[in-house]
Amino acid sequence: MNRDVFTLLATDGGARAGVLKTSHGDVHTPAFMPVATQGSVKALDPADLKAIGADIILSNTYHLYLRPGVELVERFGGLHRFMGWSGPILTDSGGFQGFSLEPLREMTEEGITFKSHLDGSLHTFTPEAVVRHQERLSSDIAMPLDVCVALPAKWEAVEAGVERTGRWAERSRKAHSRANQLLFGIVQGGLYPDLRQRSVSFLTGLGFPGYAIGGLSVGESKEDMYRLTGLTTGMLPRESPRYLMGVGSPEDLVECVARGIDMFDCVLPTRTARNGALYVPQGRLNIDAAPFRTMDKPVEEGCDCYTCQNFSAAYLHHLFRSKELLAYRLASIHNLRFILRLMEQMRGAIVSGTFGEFRVKFLSGFIPPDEDAREAQREKWLTARSRRAEEG
């Protein structure tokens, strides 16, 4: 089955280039999926996404279930027609919301019961219901309900999550019936190699056409993320696509492609764009900073995106300082094009056998935010989550 779904075209060390076939077209890997949580990539339309080179996008079952409702999307012929996007769509299950909305949910063996963040109503997501919702949304790739354990966590807590994720995966596999939709398995196991191995062994025994790696990029160090990513890809079938969930920093994309990942998603490129942080080959710049007020050249010289081809850095600086809505669109176009061009460059380097050189050159020039800033951002997120718990 996997031979019909995924074709591996070239490898260079651990890095892979391939093609994933879906009912709405091919996805060239390594691939990055812009996040359209509620059926829209914030500030962009489908024409923008096509223009910047997106093969596939990601939407979220939990959020679409709450608003506008799965029934309405189905009535419009499915998510593709509803949002005007003709390319492939992957839908996440709501399992991550079981992690991120912990104060608003109760988890049992049957599933996850959420207290809606919109109106306080209760909704139970079972593995079978989540599969049914995604079949009605008509996405090309569906994800099963899983258990993502917050870090740091003891081995026993992560083991319980792995075991439940496996049982839910088996129930999801039995419930799935849509022939033109791929259902991927999700590997859990936290930072414990033995639990990652246990999760992989069980899921591969169920015979999914592709496998995601969950439970990373949730607060662990980059070194741990890279280590566990490499260990897990080494356990997964060579002929199956591998998807690392929730990772989108440029340096992380390069390092994890080097470790055998084929697919990524993350809100980071568009979220940072809306905050005026724009990617350039040297790292991230703050377009709101004073030096850009009079800069009569694009944010990134040589960039082929619509923003850089048509507007100066000074104009973007003005838009952000004036809080004009156009700022968010132009910045999002640039950041996503930067990421998608990076994926294209990595594909080309893998095919030509020069990925190792590309990796060294990129990482020697790109300076990411330091680990202290990353930890501060995580603490800010944890504080916000605690506040939601107190209020809810």
Catalytic residues: 92, 265
User: What tokens were used for 346?
Assistant: 């990595």
What is the C-alpha separation between 207 and 197, in angstroms, rounded?
16
Check: CB of residue 246 under 8 Å from CB of residue 274: no
Element (H, E) at 125: strand 122-125
Q: How many CA atoms lie within 13 A of 205 on its CB side?
A: 10
Instruction: Name the β-bridge partners of 19.
Output: 7, 28
User: What tokens were used for 46?
Assistant: 């489908």
Element (H, E) at 241: none
Look up residue 239 and give its amino acid: E
Give exposure, 89-100, as e/b (b: 16+ Cβ within 10 Å).
bbbbbbbbbbbb
Beta strands at 182-183 and 141-142: parallel, antiparallel or unpaired: parallel
Q: What letter does residue 370 receive in the DSSP assignment? A: P
Q: Which of 131, 181, 189, 134 is nearest to 165 (CA)?
A: 189
Distance linking the first and last C-alpha atoms of the chain: 46
Check: CB of residue 41 under 8 Å from CB of residue 260: no
